[in-house]
Amino acid sequence: TLDTQNAISATISAVPMTPDVNPNDNFNVSWSATHVATAPTVLTATVTNPDGETSTCTWTIEVNCAASIVSVGSAGSIGTVTIEGIGSVTYDIYYADSCANGAGDSLPGDAIFAGQITLVGAGIVTGSGPAGHAIVADTCYYVTCDGSNIILDRFAYRTVPTLGEWGLIAFSLLLVGAGVVLMRKRRLAQ
């Protein structure tokens, strides 16, 4: 609700507000509007007087949309991301190659939408989703409020080489080292 004097129109973030009385016949008018915020947002109200002059004010709507990632399925499998958050709230899940951004930052430019999780229940609850998502290795998973690009939590999914992969790396380095030694011996022999 916005109370004005000598205003003939009012908008909130470019959406017309509804007057409680006819603004052409009344000096004092209360304007109302409903705005559904699914993420923290800034609203701007603009009021116009009969001469066409405008006045604006802004305010921030804080939305309690906290969540944290509990676990992520096995890399390469069709799995789910498990989060803990507020019941009856829908969260978006993203993943990206870059892991530089953390809680409170905007999503990185290479973020890919994986799906949504709607938590069922009241209070702090746990839920999993998105169904049928292939878990990607060597990425970061992010959770945001539905429709927001502000990161609530991230999960860095980095794979570590297995013992067999470390063995292959060591063997390759030994071959390279042996090749360098043989090349030097041949040069010295000439």
CB neighbourhood size of 121 (10 A):
11
CB atoms within 10 A of CB 103: 13
How far apart (Å, rounded) are the C-alpha atoms in residues 70 and 127? 9
Q: Is residue 83 over pLDDT 80? A: yes
pLDDT band at 38 (very low <50, low <70, confident <90, very high): low
Give the pLDDT confidence score for residue 62 in this predicted structure.
Answer: 72
In the prediction, which pLDDT does 40 show?
66
Asked whether residue 146 carries a pLDDT value surpassing 90, the answer given is: no
Which two structure tokens, joined as six digits, stand for 164? 């067999």
pLDDT at 184 over 70: yes
Write down the domain spans for the chain.
2-61, 67-157
Task: Please say if the pLDDT value at position 150 is more than 90.
Answer: no
Kind and range of the H or E run holding 112: strand 112-118
- pTM over cut 0.75: no
63-80 mean pLDDT: 82
d(CA 113, CA 187): 57
**67-157 classified as CATH 2.60.120:** no
Residue 69 CA to residue 104 CA, distance in Å, equals 15
Per-residue tokens: 156: 């860095």
**Per-residue pLDDT tens for 85-132?**
888 888 899 999 888 888 888 899 999 999 888 888 777 777 777 877
